[in-house]
């Protein structure tokens, strides 16, 4: 009985499994049909996409080409507008440029307008169109007017900041000609300094004048290229000469015997009673130190204001007059010493040795500033 029951259960289980298998087979068949249909649909969709792509691709290429053409046309129109603007710029800016900056606060606006005109000139010159020749000449004419106003402003500004400092006035105000006070003033008196705002404005002006000088020179107005160097040299040469005049005269008078330095006192007349030379008491030594300090400060200013290739040229032009006077004074001292030696008077020889010693020290300290000048003088005193 138990065996029959077990057999019955197994048969029932087998029938159930067979029924489930049949259902699975049916589901698999339907799935295969759906998969096949989906594959057919995807294949059809792919074919349609390929046809659509083949239809759209020429249109896309045409559209891309048209877009590029449109962009090129827009750029060309912008360029034409820019050139047209440049062609009429001289007429529009002439009155403003001719009037010059009304006041100091207008300088930035004025320089900005000048920069715009220079850019326009540069663009038109690069095009090399005959139709632009007239506009180029007009722009150069406007820039010539701008150059005049900027040059004038530069000269006034630089002159206002170039007030000379004469040591002799300080010596007199200090109440005497004591040689130690002269030497101390020459070595430590603060030199006139241009404040930062004025210096920055001068930098702006020279930044415009350098290219303008070149444009005006090429324009054939008769001006030298880099005309502002001449302006700078004129103003600062006067400043240096006036600053050094008093102490230079003191040294010259000393070399003529009008001032004899003895026992540390300047101004006593020649006399056997004052036959001893005091080291460091010569006015020329104070003159030398003051001259070198001014030259050093001048070179620093030139390096700030003048474009690098022209720094050395401008420096030599500026200090040449002061340097010539300095060398002439040195030569007069040497001449006096030679005459004294012929008379067997040796005090001036001690003075000469003292000056030569100071020159040797200055050669080390100021070698990069006035090396050539100092070397020449050192050879004179050697």
- pLDDT tens-digit profile, the chain (382 residues): 677 787 777 878 888 878 888 888 888 888 888 888 888 888 888 888 888 778 777 877 778 788 888 888 888 888 888 888 888 888 899 998 988 887 666 788 888 999 999 998 888 888 877 777 888 889 999 999 999 999 999 999 999 999 998 777 776 665 555 555 667 777 778 888 899 999 999 999 998 888 888 887 755 444 456 788 899 999 999 999 999 988 888 877 765 543 344 333 333 344 443 356 677 677 888 888 888 889 889 999 999 999 888 888 899 899 989 988 988 888 888 888 788 778 777 677 777 777 777 777 776 666 655 555 555 555 555 5
Q: Is the entire prediction scored with pTM above 0.75?
A: no
DSSP-assigned beta bridge partners for residue 178: 265
- 3-state DSSP assignment of residue 277: coil
3-state SS class at 206: helix
207 Cα distance to chain centroid: 7
* 327 token code pair: 């060398």
Straight-line distance from the first to the last Cα atom of the chain, in angstroms, rounded to the nearest whole number: 148
Sign of CA dihedral 125, 128, 132, 137: positive
Count of beta carbons in the 10 Å neighbourhood of residue 312: 13
DSSP letter assigned to residue 224: P
What's the pLDDT at 237? Answer: 94
- Provide, for the chain, the percentages of residues in helix, strand and coil under a 3-state DSSP scheme, each rounded to the nearest 5: 85, 0, 15
Rg (the chain; Cα; Å) = 45
Distances (CA, A) of 269 to 169, 266, 274: 22, 9, 9
Please, where are the H alpha helices in 88-132? Answer: 89-99, 107-127
Closest CA to 153 of 90, 104, 108, 80: 104
Please report, for the chain, the start and end positions of each structural domain, with discontinuous segments joined by +: 7-40, 64-160, 166-381
In this structure, what token pair is assigned to residue 247? 């102490």
Q: Please tell me the distance from the alpha carbon of residue 242 to that of residue 163, in angstroms, as a whole number.
A: 9
Q: How much is the pLDDT for 177? A: 53
The three-state secondary structure class of 225 is coil
Enter the DSSP assignment of 262. E
The torsion angles phi and psi of 268, rounded to 5 degrees, stand at: -80, 145
Decide: residue 305, CB within 10 A, 0-12 exposed, 13-18 middle, 19+ buried. buried
Number of helices followed by number of strands (H, E) in the chain: 12, 2
**DSSP structure string for 297-359:** HHHHHHHHHS-GGGHHHHHHHHHHHHHHHHHHHHHHHHHHHHHHHHTT--HHHHHHHHHHHHH
Residue with tokens 């004419």: 141
Q: Give the H or E element holding residue 290.
A: helix 283-305
What string of H, E and C letters represents the secondary structure of 227-239? HHHHHHHHHHHHH
Side-chain-facing half-sphere of 252: CA atoms under 13 Å: 11
Give the CATH number of domain 166-381: 1.20.1280.170
Cα 320 from Cα 234, distance rounded (Å) = 11
User: What's the rounded Cα separation, in Å, for the pair 165 and 183?
Assistant: 15
Rounded-to-integer distance, Cα 85 and Cα 91, Å: 10
- Farthest-apart Cα atoms in the chain, separation: 167
Which tokens in the block code for residue 295? 């030259």
CA–CA distance, 334 with 328 (Å, rounded to integer):
10
């Amino acid at each position: 009985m138990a065996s029959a029951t077990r057999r019955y259960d197994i048969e029932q289980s087998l029938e159930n499994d067979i029924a489930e298998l049949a259902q699975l087979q049916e589901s698999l068949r339907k799935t295969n049909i759906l998969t096949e249909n989906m594959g057919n649909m995807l294949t059809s969709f792919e074919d349609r996409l390929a046809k659509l792509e083949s239809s759209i691709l020429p249109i896309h290429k045409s559209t891309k080409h048209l877009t590029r053409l449109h962009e090129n046309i827009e750029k060309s129109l912008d360029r034409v507008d820019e050139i047209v603007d440049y062609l009429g710029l001289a007429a529009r800016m002439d009155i403003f440029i001719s009037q010059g900056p009304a006041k100091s606060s207008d300088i930035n606006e004025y320089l900005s307008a000048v920069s715009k005109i220079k850019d326009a000139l540069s663009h038109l010159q690069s095009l090399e169109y005959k139709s632009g020749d007239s506009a180029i000449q007009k722009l150069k004419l406007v820039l010539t007017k701008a150059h005049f106003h900027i040059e004038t402003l530069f000269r006034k500004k630089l002159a206002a900041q170039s007030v000379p400092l004469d040591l002799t006035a300080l010596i007199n105000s200090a109440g005497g000609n004591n040689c130690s006070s002269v030497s101390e003033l020459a070595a430590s008196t603060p030199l006139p300094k241009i404040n930062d705002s004025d210096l920055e404005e001068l930098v702006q002006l020279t930044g415009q004048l350098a290219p303008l000088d070149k444009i005006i020179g090429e324009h054939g107005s008769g001006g030298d290229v880099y005309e502002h160097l001449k302006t700078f040299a004129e103003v600062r040469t006067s400043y240096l000469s006036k600053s050094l005049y008093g102490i230079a005269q003191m040294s010259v008078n000393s070399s003529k015997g009008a001032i004899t330095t003895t026992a540390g006192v300047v101004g006593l007349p020649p006399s056997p009673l004052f036959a001893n030379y005091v080291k460091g008491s010569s006015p020329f030594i104070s003159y030398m130190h003051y001259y070198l300090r001014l030259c050093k400060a001048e070179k620093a200013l030139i390096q700030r204001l003048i474009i690098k290739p022209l720094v050395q040229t401008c420096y030599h032009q500026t200090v040449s007059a002061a340097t010539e006077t300095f060398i002439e004074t040195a030569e007069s001292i040497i001449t006096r010493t030679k005459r004294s030696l012929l008379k067997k008077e040796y005090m001036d020889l001690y003075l000469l040795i003292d000056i030569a010693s100071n020159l040797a020290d200055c050669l080390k300290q100021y070698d990069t500033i006035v090396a050539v000048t100092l070397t020449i003088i050192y050879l004179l005193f050697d």
